Amino acid sequence: MAKVAFLLAPDFEDSEMKNPYDEVKKAGHETVIIGNARGVECAGKKRTVTYVTEIAASEANADELDAIVIPGGSAPEELRVNLDTVQLVKRLNEKSKVIAGICHGPQVMISADILKGKESTSYIGIRDDVINSGAEFLDEEVVVSGNIITSRTPKDEPAFIREILNKLR
Amino acid sequence: MAKVAFLLAPDFEDSEMKNPYDEVKKAGHETVIIGNARGVECAGKKRTVTYVTEIAASEANADELDAIVIPGGSAPEELRVNLDTVQLVKRLNEKSKVIAGICHGPQVMISADILKGKESTSYIGIRDDVINSGAEFLDEEVVVSGNIITSRTPKDEPAFIREILNKLR
């Protein structure tokens, strides 16, 4: 089975964390919640779920991770300005590990500069930023482009989760 | 005196609208609140102030406006995906009118593609998007680059307002 990291900060979009996290666990994979720092209590913006980061991005070993999932909401704006966090995503991309982001999640991919030449979708409000980062924007429920998986909104979660689990097989 | 538009949608950053708006009025300028549609009630994300949009961007006459101010918060993500709104900002820029954005306000400038070759600041969470849109990013309380004025956070409001009023003299 795979080891899957979830990249989290406060005010993430609740269901975009909870549903992929629950399904990845249910499929039997190992998980770890990574943040800018260790031990940070992160409540979803809708306050329906809370998680605590288990390790800091600076402590993560890219060789031991098979995939990283980046939920949306306001969290990605906090994650993308932390150099260690951005470096971890860059390192995982260099190793062609699975990198999955939904809604505002691709903001972290933009800051890690890993979307050039890829196809990507995102929440429509950051579409122009995805395009400016060098990706071809597709308005689809899920876009798989090499090792990168992206989706638009909570409604796309079933497709997003399906493609993550497909890649972990 | 000048005619100054404020570009608004729900969930703007309260003080980034209220303080520039009040000061521009106090200085004797005429104001108009423009949105994606006319008559939309816009509450600030902190719920301390509410404004109603007076006209839609599609109804605005760029020739009659001297400046447009774009407060931050979540509003710019809604404004930047409306073609009429983005077109209005483009037209004002072509006429070298004053375009001022604070915090997430520059997201609308990115979508209007008016930051190429300019110096700009913004909320740090969208810094990489400002850079990818072709601007030189400066971490300063206010950056004036030709007709474009940008600031980072509510703390920068005094400098932001000062430079807007300077340009309207």
Model confidence pLDDT, tens digit, residues A86-143: 999 999 999 999 999 999 999 999 999 999 999 999 999 999 999 999 999 999 999 9
Measure B19 CA to nearest chain A CA, in Å.
Answer: 24
Q: CA B12, CA B30: separation in Å to the nearest integer?
A: 21
Chain B residues whose CB is inside 8 A of the A79 CB are: none
Domains in chain A and their CATH numbers?
1-166 (3.40.50.880)
A/B interface, count of CB pairs below 8 Å: 42
Q: Does the pLDDT at position A169 exceed 90?
A: no
Given phi > 0 = left and psi -120 to 50 = alpha, else beta, which region is B67? beta
The predicted-structure confidence for A10-46, as pLDDT tens digits, reads as follows 999 999 999 999 999 999 999 999 999 999 999 999 9
What residue ranges of chain B have pLDDT lower than 50? none
Which residue do the tokens 């549903």 mark? Answer: A19
pTM: 0.97
User: Whose CA is closest to A133, among A154, A156, A150, A153?
Assistant: A150
Three-state DSSP class for B39?
coil
B169 within 8 A of B4, measured Cβ to Cβ: no
Residue in B with minimal Cα distance to A123: B77
Is the minimum CB–CB distance between B125 and chain A shorter than 8 Å?
yes
Burial of B58 (0-12, 13-18, 19+ CB in 10 A): middle
pLDDT at B115: 98
Interface contact A11, partner B, CB < 8 A: no
Tell me if B32 sits within 8 A of B2, measured CB to CB: no
